[in-house]
Chain A
Amino acid sequence: MSEALRRLAPVTLQADARRQAQVLRALSHVALFTLAFIILIPFFWMLSTSFKPARGIFVMPPQWIPNPFILDHYFTIWEKTQLARGLVNSTFIALSTTVGEIATSTLAGFAFARMRFPAKGPLFGLLLMTMMIPGIVTLIPTFILFGELDWIDTFNPVILPYLLGTPFALFLSRQFFSGLPRELEDAAKVDGASYFQIYRHVFMPQARPLVATLFVLGYLHRWNDFLAPLIYLRSPEIQTVSVMLARLVDFYVQDWSVLMAGAMIALLPILIIFVVLQRFIIESVAFSGLKG
């Protein structure tokens, strides 16, 4: 009898521990899903408002499911504002700056990681310092510079600086290229490849994860940019969707259904990209954060 009990004891202990783990996991689930729900409330609220007739939004208590369910506000946004144009502009700016940034930053990152040249260390330190310098300090002189060039109200000020690379992309590229094995360029050098060929045909094909990360982060960052587009892009034809939406707040005061439809349109492209590339985006962010 006592023998049987002794054999049984560890089993019950294990079962206890397992049950404890199960309870803990269940509690975690409840807590996390509740939090996720709370975090999503603003989006439900936006969606719900955007489909309500103007009078419906002042009904208390608020209805979550709009009745009647109307699409009018989306048509209003589409017809009376240039938000669609803003989407095109934002896409154009985000795409061109990101592609340019990747080209110049990876090239420089490659040089800093794999080539020897005088003043390499101090130069890299200097460039890295840029990351520490708050962008606001340079805002006014750059504005004056672009003004002198007669570039206010053109795309140039919000695109050109990025085409020369960003310290963040440079840093990430150098980190990435430093981690690749030595043999890569040795073989190419024996074959008499030029440095640019080594970069272009040996290293860049290996750098797919780097390029993808830089692309996603750069694209999201540019799409989110607000201050520079606000200052430089004056006419509606070239404004970004974010700046346009901010302007709509003044035009459609208290017309919350229209504003929510506008917000929905402004965030939809990014939402779609996020849903499709969710896993990859999250890994990119975590990756760059760990390196930083």
Chain B
Amino acid sequence: MIPLRPRLSQASNTRREAFWAWLFILPVTAGFFLFVLGPMLASLALSFTKWDLLSPAEWAGTRNWHSIFSVSVVHTPQARDEASGELLFQCGRHRNVPASELADWQQRNDERTGEPFDCRPGYPRDREVLPERFGVVSEIALFGQRWLLGARDHVLWIALFNTVYMLLAVPIGMALALAVAIVLNQQLRGRNLLRAVFYLPNVLPIAATSVIWLWIFNPEFGILNHLLGSVGLPAEGRWLSDQGTVKPSLMIMGIWSALGFQMLIYLAALQAVPSQLYEAAVIDGAGLWGRFRFVTWPSLSPTTFFLLVTGMIFGFQSFAQPYIMTRGGPGNASRTVVMEIWKNGFADLEMGYASAQAWLLGVVILLITVANFRLARRWVFYEHEQHV
């Protein structure tokens, strides 16, 4: 019944549509293959080579990967005197103080500090315990026992630890952002102004805000110690110049900078929570906490999930802030994985090794993201399940 010509033209129409569609997606697809998929695979291949860009690339087999994963945990008991079997202690600089002389040492003053000797259990030197060319990643002391975590590329593992440590800023910032969003989500005068002020740190270039915070954290003349002192808090913080406080310091700035973004996303999500849900909860006798626990929190769970996942992916790749503010120091206390990759790749021209490190980071991020999605099934509640 249907005439032939239209059917033919319909077939050619379909082909014509496909042709144009492919043409339209060509740039984006080309970009994907050229700048994402291609380099990704190239990076994997590179991770099995040794290449400094100056001489031809050499096949290195699994050597790069072997170096990365050369990790060992050594249980190090307290040192004992070889002859007498007595436990040894370390007092100040002096190693090998036998237990029998300990009381005597503790009476004396350290010639360097003038204070009484600080005596601790003595341990063999790290390099005597660890395999050759290994460095210390971390020292773990638990229940009077001591383990030494060592690795061939100990700086990489320290950097990974630092990066994960500083990721704690993501949930802390999110909790703060949620609280701010809830308080802000009412009819308030100056609401738009407040929203803009909170968001401001997030739009400004990270290089500029890092330089500002570098000055804020200055131990002698920075404003932070002064402000703390003026409200009666201890004002002797060394902030970025102390191994113990450098990570929390960077996290404080990180929270300051991300808070507005998280708050904004939470605020938008809060406004989408149907008010009937709250009314129903009130009728059921829910108080402030009950309404938060049974209405707000579940309704916001997709938002929480989104912020957590993106925040972690972003945080794992932290570079500009530690690069500008600390160069990874003091020691390696604020070195991040991307800084390590940058140093190996672009300062030391170890392209193969840096590629292996980059892949390690990529896999870690992927695993964490997958784990996040898995866990999400337990706590993320989608109102409309018919998502694409």
List A residues at the B interface (Cβ < 8 Å).
Answer: 25, 28-29, 31-33, 35-36, 39-43, 45-46, 49, 57-58, 60-62, 104-105, 107-108, 110-112, 115-118, 120, 123, 126-127, 130, 132-145, 147, 161, 163-165, 167, 170, 194-196, 199, 220, 223-224, 226-227, 230-231, 241-243, 245-246, 248-249, 256, 259-260, 262-264, 266-267, 270-271, 274, 278-279, 281-282, 285-287, 289-290, 292
| Further contacts, 4 of them, CB under 8 A, given A42-B201, A142-B35 | A36-B193, A108-B29, A117-B18, A256-B221
| CB of B184 within 8 Å of the partner chain | yes
Stretch at the interface among B74-82, B264-272, B290-298: B264-272
Contact of B22 among A31, A49, A117, A292 (CB under 8 A): A117
Q: Is the interface of A mostly helix, strand, loop or mixed?
A: helix
5 closest A-B pairs (Cβ-Cβ)?
Answer: A164-B31, A242-B207, A286-B268, A138-B39, A141-B42
B-side residues, CB < 8 A to A, are 14, 17-18, 20-22, 24-25, 27-32, 34-36, 38-40, 42-43, 46, 53, 180, 183-184, 186-190, 192-201, 203-216, 218, 220-221, 223, 226-227, 230, 256, 259-261, 264-265, 267-269, 272, 303, 306, 310, 313, 316-317, 319-320, 323-324, 338, 341-342, 345-346, 351, 354-355, 358-359, 361-362, 365-366, 369
B46–A140 CB distance below 8 A:
yes
Asked if residues A108 and B188 are in contact (CB atoms below 8 Å), the reply is no
In whole angstroms, how far apart are the Cα atoms of A140 and B350 in the complex? 10
Nearest-neighbor residue (CB-CB) of A269 within chain B: B205
Which chain A positions have C-beta within 8 A of B221?
57-58, 60, 62, 256
B203 contacts A220, C-beta separation under 8 Å: yes
Is the beta-carbon distance between A263 and B46 smaller than 8 angstroms?
A: no
Contact B40 A137 (CB under 8 A): yes
Complex Cα distance A126/B272, Å? 31
In the complex, how many angstroms separate the beta carbon of B37 from the nearest chain A beta carbon? 8
Question: Contacts A196-B20, A249-B324, A266-B208; is A140 near B35 (CB within 8 Å)?
Answer: no
Contacts A132-B369, A165-B31, A246-B323; A107 near B208 (Cβ below 8 A): no
Chain A residues positioned under 8 Å from B190 (CB to CB): 29, 33
Nearest B residue to A29, CB-CB: B188
CA distance A112 to B201 in the complex (A): 35
What residues of chain A lie closer than 8 Å to B256, measured between beta carbons?
39, 42
Inter-chain contact B32/A108, CB cutoff 8 Å? no
Q: Contact: B18 with A271, CB < 8 Å?
A: no
Residues of chain A with a CB closer than 8 A to B361's CB: 134, 136-137
27 contacts between A and B (CB under 8 A): A29-B190, A39-B197, A39-B256, A40-B197, A41-B227, A45-B223, A108-B28, A115-B24, A116-B17, A117-B22, A118-B18, A127-B28, A137-B40, A140-B351, A142-B39, A164-B31, A165-B31, A226-B319, A242-B208, A243-B207, A246-B323, A259-B215, A260-B211, A260-B212, A263-B212, A282-B199, A292-B310
